[in-house]
């Protein structure tokens, strides 16, 4: 499973959701949803815009997690 690290990177850099929305030209509601749900599906265009706005490589914005971690974080139970 892939997990977005947008929130963590933005927080480390001190960039608010509003500022990230402005810099990336992505709607505030989409940014808010990405912060709320790091497992949200996004396009490669969105990832590139976010990376550019945060001044990091795209690879810094995604991480692979185990199915167990995904289940723990999302409340999914077999």
Residue 51 domain-assigned (yes or no): yes
Residue 66 domain-assigned (yes or no): no
* Range(s) of the domain holding residue 21: 2-57
Residue 11: phi and psi, rounded to 5, are -65, -45
Predicted confidence (pLDDT) per residue in 28-74, tens digit: 999 999 999 999 999 999 999 999 999 999 999 999 988 888 788 78
Residue 68 domain-assigned (yes or no): no
At residue 78 the predicted structure's pLDDT band, cuts being 50, 70 and 90, is low
Residue 65 domain-assigned (yes or no): no
pTM of the model: 0.86
Residue 31 domain-assigned (yes or no): yes
64: left (phi over 0), alpha (psi -120 to 50) or beta: beta
Residue 71 domain-assigned (yes or no): no
| CATH number of the domain encompassing residue 11 | 1.10.260.40
């Amino acid at each position: 499973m892939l997990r977005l690290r947008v929130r963590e990177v933005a927080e480390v850099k001190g960039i608010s959701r509003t500022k990230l929305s402005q810099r990336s030209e992505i709607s505030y509601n989409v940014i808010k949803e990405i912060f709320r749900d790091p497992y949200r599906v996004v396009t490669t265009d969105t990832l590139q815009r976010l990376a550019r706005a945060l001044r990091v490589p795209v690879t810094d914005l995604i991480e692979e997690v185990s199915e167990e971690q995904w289940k723990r974080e999302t409340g999914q139970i077999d």
